[in-house]
Amino acid sequence: MRAQNRNREQDFSKNTWRSAAALAVSTALFVAYFQYEKFNASVQREMQQNAQVGRPLVGGPFSLVDHHGRPVTDQDFRGKWMLVYFGYTFCPDVCPEELEKMGTVIDAITAAEGEASINSSSANDDVAQYQHAPLVPLFISCDPKRDSIASIKEYLAQFHPTFLGLTGTHGQIKRVAKAYRLYYSAPPKAVDDDETDYLVDHSIFFYLMDPEGKYVFHFGRNETAEDVVARITAARQAYASYAVDEAKKAAPART
């Protein structure tokens, strides 16, 4: 009798656990779906607000040299999305981690959208490097003294074939960093003497810029590749639908 009771109790608790688990799973699914919708709506709202009230003043014109030794300006990237990162090749751990993440993001977006990825064998063909890329990942050196054009090229190749490295004079780097509101320390060693052993402290952000070169979002270290992919994808969808709306408005009304 006691044994039967125990069995019944066990069955009861097993069933209770099962239905609790089922409830938990469906609740989680519902919450995930709700969060997804809420997330898309929030990205769209943020972009609409930017379009209406003006975006934060982040980014702007720059004039630098790319890792093939060609002069480039921000104008060369109009019509493309830019993902801009500031760092330096001697960075012990943060830059490698973040560039790795950026490579994962580029791969995920390219795979999801079935877009033509850049053939790394065309790396020597100067313009081809980013001509077909929908999203150009840019690395701007904040240690122009030690980061030579050749070393930037070699360094970035470890992370992703589509990376384009940019550098310039101290003055040019200072201007572009200021435009992006990016902090980096330039210790006296980084500027003058023969010292080669120093660290450059810098803020760690990726900036997403739209095809008009306007700031959309920035991403921090705490955001995973997955988070970044989701926000970029939502931003690109919102931009595309916004562009369609604008085109409709611009079209002459039929009578």
Please answer whether residues 118 and 134 qualify as being in contact, where contact means their C-beta atoms are separated by less than 8 angstroms: no
We find the least distance from the C-beta atom of residue 95 to Cu ion, in angstroms, to be 3
**Which range in 6-14, 44-52, 84-92, 235-243 contacts Cu ion by CB under 5 A?**
84-92
We find the least distance from the C-beta atom of residue 87 to Cu ion, in angstroms, to be 4
Given the complex with Cu ion, which of 186 and 238 has the nearer CB atom? Answer: 186
Contact pattern from residue 4 through residue 43 relative to Cu ion, giving x for each residue in contact according to CB under 5 A and a dash for the rest: ----------------------------------------
Q: Is 241 helix (H, G, I), strand (E, B) or coil?
A: helix
**Which range in 52-60, 88-96, 157-165, 216-224 contacts Cu ion by CB under 5 A?**
88-96
We find the least distance from the C-beta atom of residue 215 to Cu ion, in angstroms, to be 21
**Which range in 81-89, 105-113, 218-226, 235-243 contacts Cu ion by CB under 5 A?**
81-89
Given the complex with Cu ion, which of 87 and 144 has the nearer CB atom? Answer: 87
Confirm or deny that 142 is annotated as ligand binding. no
We find the least distance from the C-beta atom of residue 46 to Cu ion, in angstroms, to be 28
Q: Residue 200 CB: number of other CB atoms within 10 A?
A: 22
Please report, as a single letter, which amino acid is at residue 202: H
Establish if 94 lies at the interface with Cu ion (CB under 5 A).
yes
Q: Is 192 exposed, middle or buried (0-12, 13-18, 19+ CB in 10 A)?
A: exposed
**Which range in 79-87, 157-165, 171-179, 182-190 contacts Cu ion by CB under 5 A?**
79-87
Smallest CA-to-CA distance from 217 within 105, 99, 58 is with 58
| 84 beta partners | 138, 207
Query: Residue 237 and residue 242: Cα distance in Å, rounded?
Result: 8
Given the complex with Cu ion, which of 81 and 88 has the nearer CB atom? Answer: 88
Residue found by looking up tokens 């931003």 in the block = 235
* DSSP sequence for 75-130: GGGTTSEEEEEEE-TT-SSHHHHHHHHHHHHHHHHHHHHTPPPPPGGGGGSTTHHH
Given the complex with Cu ion, which of 202 and 214 has the nearer CB atom? Answer: 202
Checking DSSP bridges between strand 81-87 and strand 215-219, what pairing results, if any?
A: unpaired
Establish if 57 lies at the interface with Cu ion (CB under 5 A).
no
Establish if 95 lies at the interface with Cu ion (CB under 5 A).
yes
Number of residues in contact with Cu ion under rule CB under 5 A: 4
Out of 65, 83, 91, 182, the residue judged to bind Cu ion by CB under 5 A: 91
1-to-7, 106, 169, 229 alpha-carbon distances in Å: 10, 66, 88, 60
Confirm or deny that 202 is annotated as ligand binding. yes
Interacting residues with Cu ion (CB under 5 A)? 87, 91, 94-95
Residue ranges at the known binding site: 91, 95, 202
Residues annotated in a binding site for Cu cation: 91, 95, 202
